[in-house]
Chains A and B, each alone.
Chain A
Amino acid sequence: MLSRVMNVQYESQKLAINYFQVALILFGAQLLFGLTTAIQYLYPQFLFGIIDFSVGRMVHLNAMIVWLLYAMIGSVYWLLPDETGIETVGIKIGRLLFYILTLAVTIVVVVYLVVQVGPGNAMSRWLIHEGREYIEAPRWADIGIVVVVLGFLGNVFATAFKGKRTGIVTVLMIDLLALAGLYLAGMFYTKNVSVDQFWWWWVIHLWVEATWEVYVAAVIGYGLIKTIGANRKIIEMWIWIEVAMLFGSGILGIGHHYFWIGTPEYWLEIGALFSALEPVPLLGMFVHVIYDWGKQAGKRTPMTNTPAFSWFVVTTFGNFLGAGVWGFMHTLPQINLYTHGTQWTAAHGHLAFYGAYVAALIGMMYIGLQGKYGLKEMRMTASAKWGITLLTGGVLGMTMALTIAGYVQTFIERGQWGATWQGYFVGQNSPWMIQAYGWRLAMGVVTILGFVFLMKDMMTIARTAQRENLKTESTATATA
């Protein structure tokens, strides 16, 4: 008989599974609204007046940010007992906070979709949305998020102090504290749009180009130990090197957002220098994972979770290409003066978020899945292969299409037409632009297909693995 019961010893890991489940639902929502907005680029009448582009895009972005946060919290609840050797302290509060957060997220999304916009006053900001890209959540939800995150941090810190505090946990503690603290920088209204965007980037940039990257470095470290038995001492040393490189380049790399928002000219040099260094740690992560893989293959130690490890490999490629190379391509002010605010950013954003965060966290979900059913070994299934191939191929395809769109927009609208409204529309009407939007839509559909395979796999892979493990066992008994 195939067991359907959870084989998880720790409450913390059961909670992690719940976080992963909600994350996957929101991932689906992200893709759905990505699809509606991609269609609107080609057929603007589609859902016009029902789910306008602005609404669809807000859900597309917010669903992504929130599902990544869910998966991040889930991953921590998963690895915490493994690392510290004890049950997470305050796990009951953790579970309560999970329900509160999920309820709040549901209300926020429903309000986004149903109310959509409000009058130009403070009430809209408190109850509907804040109208600031990426951190649109209304203020009441901001406060709720802070409370939930404080509870989560409390659990992590209490557990780490009570149990064994490994290097991975230490890095996560410091990083999560910074991550949570930074959110406060986005929680006030200012009358001055330059000051507004100055602090807004403290949240967005210092999340995705600093604290989230360090988080991923630490989690991949755990993942490598779990999946290919990498040497903990080397991993932990390497994480500290990554922290130095990521924070060393990423924190002041914020300067590349301060080129054109009214901030002083010295940011041009600071932003250029430090953001040009940002790809270095990503290259380092890539080299490290591939090196460990080679070492593992040479030693013939068994890989216990091939889907998870494959996703970690996608992360290192995707992070280096999407965040590193695609970021660098338009980060220097000499280029950014023309590419800022064009589809270039969209091209970079798609591959970077996928490469750096989506892939890493799906890898963690596979580790969770393996643990949930207590499987010694979990191998790639056909669906897992289709999932990883179509998702990665789809996102790469969208990135290529958007890169071409970015080139066309930059040359026509910015170079030729001097960035006027007329120039904008001439650029948008260019057949090359329309063609690129067409390919983006097609590749978006491929991405969604990949998601369908991924979901199917997540629901069935454990059973397949159990069946195969049983088969191997019975063959082994028969031969004996």
Chain B
Amino acid sequence: MEEQKISVWGSVRFWRNTAVWVTGFAVLLLIWLSLDTIPQISAGTIEDLENGVTKRVPSAAVINYEIGYELDNKRKTEIPIIGGKQMFFGRNDYSEEEATELVSHGKMTVQSKNCMNCHTLLGNGAYYAPDLTKSWLDPAWSETGPYRPMTGKATTEEAMAEFLQHPNKYPTHARMMPDLGITPDEAIAVVAFLKHMSSIDTNGFPRNFNKIKGAVNAK
């Protein structure tokens, strides 16, 4: 568009060029940061777990280990701590492939059952039901919590799996979870997915988790 030369601030061409440069810069920076982020959030390996190498997203084989969530003195936020070996549905020798498949099956089930449109995962989703980010570590599902004794199961994973299959048998609140036809296999997979999710380094979200009754200790 041709225009009289009054001032550069009134020139369409100037602002069009500015828009192109600003957008180009923002896009390039986003791509560059994404190229840095993706490797950082790709799952670690079983060897990392064995050698105590910390990953933001550990290998799915983390289901073989105890997981904690403790205040880190350096970062001043709570971070997941991988502890010693722990039984998960009676085993602690899931191979990398086995665990990855199990967690993936859990994730697929979580998607198929539309969990995210009531719950939040990593804080994203709907606000009709509790956040699932650290649900594996939630005291409600521990020995002393109300849910595990309610299901009559000995471990957190069994209690969660039982609840997922028969939510109508265990009313936790007036807002009950509907029966979504989750099979025993799917329930185990979902619990594996939840356990793995609790091991992700979320920069301290949720903050102050379970502070009232003290930290969840892995060691």
Contact = CB atoms under 8 A, between A and B. Distances in A.
Bind each other: yes
A346 B120 CA distance: 13
B110 interface: yes
Given A133-B117, A247-B23, A419-B206, A195 B108 contact: no
Interface in B183-214: 183, 186, 189-190, 193, 197, 200-212
B160 to A, nearest CB: 12
A418 B211 contact: yes
Contacts of B179: 49
B115 A131 contact: yes
A260 B123 contact: yes
B202 A260 contact: yes
Contacts of A188: none
B149 interface: no
A298 interface: no
Interface residues of B, number: 94
A131 B127 contact: no
B212 A197 contact: no
Nearest to B112: A124
Interface string A215-254: 0000000000000000001001100110110011001101
B45 interface: no
A130 B111 contact: yes
A247 B26 contact: yes
B20 to A, nearest CB: 9
Interface in A299-351: 337-338, 340-343, 345-346
Contacts of A103: none
Contact of A259 (B37, B120, B205, B212): B205
B63 interface: no
Interface string A100-140: 00000000000000001111111011001111110010000
Interface in A439-467: none
Contacts of B204: 260, 337
Interface string B34-73: 1011101111000000000000110010000000000000
B5 interface: no
Nearest to B75: A265
A1 interface: no
Most buried by A among B124, B125, B176, B189: B124
A193 B121 contact: yes
A120 B109 contact: yes
Nearest to A123: B112
Contacts of A117: 112-114, 180-181
A128 B30 contact: no
A240 B112 contact: no
A48 B178 contact: yes
A261 B202 contact: yes
Contact of A129 (B27, B36, B114, B181): B114
Interface stretch (A67-75, A357-365, A420-428): A420-428
A196 B211 CA distance: 30
B120 A41 contact: no
Given A193-B107, A420-B139, A198 B30 contact: no
B130 interface: yes
Given A53-B117, A120-B113, A167-B12, A261 B124 contact: yes
A76 interface: no
Contacts of A477: none
11 contacts: A45-B174, A57-B126, A131-B114, A192-B43, A194-B57, A198-B41, A233-B1, A247-B23, A262-B41, A264-B56, A418-B212
Interface of B: 1, 3, 10-12, 15-16, 18-19, 22-23, 25-27, 29-30, 33-34, 36-38, 40-43, 56-57, 60, 100, 103-118, 120-131, 133-135, 138-141, 147, 172-176, 178-183, 186, 189-190, 193, 197, 200-212
Interface of A: 37, 40-41, 44-45, 48-49, 52-55, 57-58, 116-122, 124-125, 128-133, 136, 167, 189, 191-198, 233, 236-237, 240-241, 243-244, 247-248, 251-252, 254, 257-268, 270, 337-338, 340-343, 345-346, 409, 414-415, 417-422, 424-425, 428
